[in-house]
Structure 1
């Protein structure tokens, strides 16, 4: 099988991007937000919660994510209303989880911002940004070794 040229691969990527659902950078504020994920158990819960909410909503595609101690970043594709339902479900279940552990952290400031991604270049840059977010906060969390994000898979 002949390998596609770079130009042909780019045309395929552009066509795939254009045919897909809208793309978004979903993020929550890291400033003035309480510590939400304090240990490995919390981070594992957050990753599993992403998967459960993805399954329950069923129409949101998660392309990249990074779980930080007090906020999250995701690159997602789907209908805006479905993405909002996805985040609302994630937030409700996170609130329940924190309460079940007797933690009083407020998630009042854990609110979603949703930035549209309009072109393939911005999609690529946003994926890189999300995957580097842990490293920017803590250089020991490289995109290749950080277990709380998708960086090592790119």
Structure 2
């Protein structure tokens, strides 16, 4: 997208009414939003400042190394102002640290949440993103966002003080702003970060998700919702072998009422191959290996 097209799109976003929106930051192809922990911390503090001064209520959010996701309740105008503020601050930090700046046309997509189901799907999608980016860390254990607060007491372990207990000079130097944040916001001195529990609508996220069991189960197992959302926002999903195995097991159990792949006929395995190809975008070699179907047969099937 050119800078001109981006500005035209943002002009349209500014007319959108107050509602729940999924904000998808552009994925950087070359370079990164964050290069070390200090930049992540600065990004987290930037979100705390931006949502406060631009009147944006955040339900959940996560930053990844080259993009990010937010679920917010706000007007389109306030969202554009908030995201512009975040981009300027991140860009200034990147340049100051000697890294490549954000692309000139860097922006975001804004997706209006249609109903309660999409609201829940979006929370699960955002929570699941770190699971793909950092497979060695459980989704609820990811630090650079707010999903670790959902159905969790982890915030009780953080050593924290309130903003009112910090000097004005300390706040200006640490947060790089003269904006006076609410006195009841919590700050963790060890990491140097304003804690998301201070400002995110975690209660709303838990209300939508209904239970910890539902949340945990959907983050790990609900591939369909994840794929549908990814397709809607134009993101590519690459499944691990473990995830493909789980999808196959779900199909065997729910659609074919059997336990083992060997219980299926060749025709049934071919029908399963069609689903894996068209719905989950798996390549033919991987399908051949997983379903024990000769590659030549699959090639003829998809001619």
TM-score, scaled to structure 1: 0.80
Q: Which residue does the alignment assign to 1:15?
A: none
Q: Which residue does the alignment assign to 1:132?
A: 128
RMSD between aligned residues: 1.5
Larger relative CO (CA 8 A, sep 6+): 1 or 2?
Answer: 1
State which structure, 1 or 2, has the greater radius of gyration over its C-alpha atoms.
2
The Cα of 1:31 is off from its aligned counterpart by 5.3
Q: Which residue does the alignment assign to 1:63?
A: 59
> Would the aligned equivalents of 1:27 and 1:113 in 2 still touch at CA under 8 Å?
yes
Unmatched runs of 5 consecutive residues or more in structure 2: 1-17, 151-303
> Would the aligned equivalents of 1:33 and 1:71 in 2 still touch at CA under 8 Å?
no
Pick the aligned partner of 2:33 from 36, 39, 58. 36
Q: Distance between the aligned counterparts of 1:109 and 1:37, measured in 2? A: 18
1:47 and 2:44 equivalent?
A: yes
Q: In structure 1, the residue corresponding to 2:69 is in which secondary structure?
A: strand
> Would the aligned equivalents of 2:39 and 2:93 in 1 still touch at CA under 8 Å?
no
Please list the CA deviations of residues 122-141 of structure 1 after superposition, one character each: whole Å capped at 9, or x if unmatched: 11110110011011122123
Q: Which residue does the alignment assign to 2:108?
A: 112
Q: Distance between the aligned counterparts of 2:115 and 2:103, measured in 1? A: 32
> Would the aligned equivalents of 2:61 and 2:126 in 1 still touch at CA under 8 Å?
yes
Higher strand share: 1
> Would the aligned equivalents of 1:26 and 1:75 in 2 still touch at CA under 8 Å?
yes
